[in-house]
Structure 1
Amino acid sequence: MRIFLTPPGFVRDHVGVSDTPDPAADEYYYSAPWAPAGALHFGQGQAPASDAAPSAPPEQSAADTTARAPPAEQSVTEAATEAAAPTTVPVPQEVPDAPEAPALPALVGPLGAAALQPSAPVVAMAAPHPANGSEVPPWSGLIPRPSRMPAAKPVLAPAHRYCHRCMRVRPPRAHHCRRCGTCVMRMDHHCPWIGGCVGAQNHKFYYNFVFWVTGLELFTMISSAVLFARGVRGAAPYDAWRTDGFVISLFAITAIFTLFTLSLLLTHTYLLHLNLTTLEHMAVERSAGAERAAMDGYFSSAGAAGAGMHLRERRALRREWDAKWGAPKRQGNLWWIDRRAAPADGPTSNWRSVMGESVLGWILPVGQAPLDGTWFPTNPRHSRLGVLRPREMWPAELRDR
């Protein structure tokens, strides 16, 4: 009954309503090739902008000096600048407005059609020619060699954790459940069998519930199979049971439900040892699926590696990615508690962070959940805002692990 009476933990009980927070100025901690232009980057050993002291005003560049030169000196400076400037410069080209499609308002409505139409002429810049006369080699038409590109999103930044439905800054690992209509602390999934969400405060009892349901199903399935076998052999007093449809249907039903609950039990045991929720594991699997698709394209007739299985090359490429970024479910997991980084916690630290310290509580629905859902320890391989860093930026004691 604990799983039905214990709520998962709701954000509204811990966090008040607030406005949308401003984006963090130090969202990115390394120069990632996929980081948006204009984001601040910090190398190893550098402090973020919010923690560093105010810097001195930058020195004026040559362009600023030219723009602010006195009128008497500006002509001489402009002449020198024009003489040193390259002969090919980007030429603004005005692109005419595209005519509105006749069926556009009918498809997206008048407001959507107005939003899709440009409000001002779009100016495209013609690409300048290389100054040294060199040309970029033409593309061969083959899919190039892929590389792993982890998402450089500051998942711990308040702006990233803000829920526009609940208008609250969610704690880490919280998600908005559309069925419950609110944000749930450390949401794992919405379970229709218990009529609610599995979250920070009832995940332990959910595991106890699945464990005992699976045990009951195994006991029922084995008992019905033994009774049916004795009835088939005609041994008294079970000789009449061989034609009993109740025992036959009970065995079939429990066998089907055992496959479901046993797989659920094994899956959650695996996720608890990795300190991952179901939603977080699905995100990791989506990234892994994108990597497999990139590999399939590279090791195909349209790829640079050519068609074929290339099993050894695939393993070597994946090992190369792991050597730089770590395994996605362990070193690349923001919430993974590495027992090597914290030897005092032991090998079951991820498990105990959800199930508690008591071994009896791992099996029986007793005690309280150790999590309140407001704070979680983070993997030191990530930045302060939760961005995965390459191995060369990890702590020195963790780079060889």
Structure 2
Amino acid sequence: MSYSGLSLLGHAITGNRHWPAIIAAPDMRATYDIVIVGGGGHGLATAYYLADNHGLSNIAVVEAGWIGGGNTARNTTIVRSDYLLNSSFELKNFALGLWADLSRDLNFNLMYEPRGYVDLAHSDGELEHFTLRANAMRLGGADASILTGDALQARVPELDLSNGKRFPVSGALVQEAGGVVRHDAVAWGFARKASKAGIHILQNCPVTGFDIVKGRLNAVETTRGRISCKQAMISVAGASSHVAGLAGVDLPLNSINVQAFVTEPVKPALDAVVNYNAGLSYVSQTDKGEFVLGGATDGYGSFARRGSFERIEDVLARAMQMFPFLSRLRVMRHWSGTADIPMDGNAIMGPTPIQGLMINGGWGYAGFKATPAVGHQMAELLATGKTPALIAPFALDRFTSGTEQDDAGLGPYPWLH
């Protein structure tokens, strides 16, 4: 069904007793053309674009848990494209353009709000780097501005710019098209549209192995049986190294925790996403009035999905330097997700050494903002067999060819990570 004002009124009159299921629950077939391992935002977006752009529907999305239960719902909902490297900027900016129309395309309200992303610089040198990044963004066709002093205070009136701070604010890079998107709605919206196109979404169906003969993929093994297929894509976020390992593919990834938390709700007080770069702490306010806070990774390998109190303290201390009024609010909920990060801090997308097996992983904490672009581009790869130019720089073989995409600021060397 299509959502509309009339359909909402009709269901309200009948007591909301006749809403159809958003996602069908089909029986699993023995054979599909394509199997997408992972029912998060990236996997579901790929399924949607395979149907919408390429007319393909003999596809299964196999998810170990439930739709909206993984990292897609464990992030802080921020979307932006303020990157310096051409490869990173072009992909994220393509995604930012797609976000603007996705609610209409999916007939599902994703609650995209371009409320502005404000990235704070804490020294003249850092502000000079931000100016370089803003100029590169403008050359690439994105909006960006540098604000200092009174102009920055006017843009974020709640921000404390007084002197005497440990890390004073010298200015900020502002991208007004940046903002937030409702994260679980992204999963449900893509899943609903893909299911409507005839794609099978199989929940609670973990992958247990891959049938590979002479370097070619023949089938995907699951807890519900064997699925023969011509192609498969692994898109499982923090579990990438484990699932790829089932196929004998060794990925250069570290898996670490990323935390986030929200305060109790209050009246609207902040209309932008603000990021504090000295140690990393970012803050936004939800439509319900809660302040969402997050920061850097915990810095050590773990699959535990629970974070350290030390990181919570770091994030809160910096957030209160920006917005002292936050000290009067209580933290209400806390959660953590597993991020997989390569040594150069960028994603891995494209073919693996196994013929017919594709990989989409290594997104760290940058994956959510790129969701529609990843789905669009990986669908093109699966449908045509040709790697699109936007994702070509993120190939797995870049680590052997020496063409790392260094977004981590750490260099392409493992001993610096």
Which bin holds the TM-score, normalised by the shorter protein? Answer: under 0.3
Q: Normalization by structure 2: what TM-score? A: 0.18
Give the number of the structure whose residues are more often helix, by fraction. 1
Give the number of the structure whose residues are more often strand, by fraction. 2
Q: Normalization by structure 1: what TM-score? A: 0.18
Indicate the structure (1 or 2) with the bigger Cα radius of gyration: 1
